[in-house]
A = this chain, B = another copy of it.
Amino acid sequence: MAATILVVEDEPAIQELIAYNLKQAGHQTLRADNAEQALNLVSNALPDLVLLDWMLPGLSGIEFARRLRADKRTRTVPIIMLTARSDEQDKLAGLDGGADDYITKPFSPRELMARIKAVLRRRAPEMTDDVVQASGLKLDPASHRVTGHGNPVELGPTEFRLLHFLMTHAERVHSRTQLLDQVWGDHVFVEERTVDVHIRRLRKALEPTELDRLVQTVRGTGYRFSAG
């Protein structure tokens, strides 16, 4: 898992309950009592997911969601709405506002965790600890291990994250910029060509298993992981 989750909730008890459960599941938490505070946090560091209470003092939850969706930098962050009643009207407005899922109070912690996992799986599969495998290459985030046809593959931290991202977003070309944003982080200043070097290191580590062919170059565009 290891996702950073922003909880925007004005009721301390609920915020505490949620934060506790997130921590148990191995997530990092950021907390905010209101939308203004939340906007501040977001401007500093992008969370991997936002849990957003519908009713907030001041700027409403729905308005906060709209702002996230309006800014290019935050547009892709998954949002789960917390609403008091299962009101159809609210639900529509919430989904309209760009929420990825929505859950009504009272909810069980178990249900909440399940939805978070589901949303992450859909929107940011590299954040889950699901095992990923393709063509004899297997990557296990929980144990932090990679094997090719059963043989262990040694990877540095960056190569590990890079491969994890590529495998969870296979059959798609990613530009160097996209890879830098997704694998290095969005507030990092690194040369684009650095990606090439890490791709090289990744391929070298995969060479003994002949699986380096899965990491492909798309000239003029970027790189792609393909099971083909």
Could you list which residues of chain A lie within 8 angstroms of chain B, going by C-beta atoms? 13, 16-17, 20, 23-24, 26, 66, 69-70, 72, 75-76, 92-93, 95-96, 98, 106-111, 142-144, 156-157, 171-173, 178, 181, 186, 218-221, 224, 226
Q: How far is the CA of A171 from the CA of B144 in the complex (A)?
A: 9
Q: Quickly give the copy total for this chain.
A: 2
Q: Is the CB of B75 within 8 A of A20?
A: yes
Q: Is the CB of B26 within 8 A of A224?
A: no
Q: For A129, give the chain B residue with the smallest CB separation.
A: B172
Q: Is the CB of A69 within 8 A of B171?
A: no
Query: Distance (Å) between the CB of A160 and the closest chain B CB?
Result: 8
Name the one of B98, B106, B172 contacting A92, with C-beta atoms under 8 angstroms. Answer: B106
Q: How far is the CA of A16 from the CA of B140 in the complex (A)?
A: 35
Given the interface pairs A143-B171, A143-B173, A173-B143, the reply to whether A69 lies near B221 with Cβ below 8 Å is: no
Q: Is the CB of A98 within 8 A of B109?
A: yes
Name the one of B69, B93, B95, B142 contacting A20, with C-beta atoms under 8 angstroms. Answer: B69
Query: Distance (Å) between the CB of A24 and the closest chain B CB?
Result: 8
Query: Distance (Å) between the CB of A109 and the closest chain B CB?
Result: 6
A66 contacts which chain B residues (CB < 8 A)? 13
A181 contacts which chain B residues (CB < 8 A)? 23
A95 contacts which chain B residues (CB < 8 A)? 108-111
Closest 7 CB pairs of A and B: A95-B108, A157-B220, A96-B106, A144-B173, A143-B171, A142-B172, A144-B218
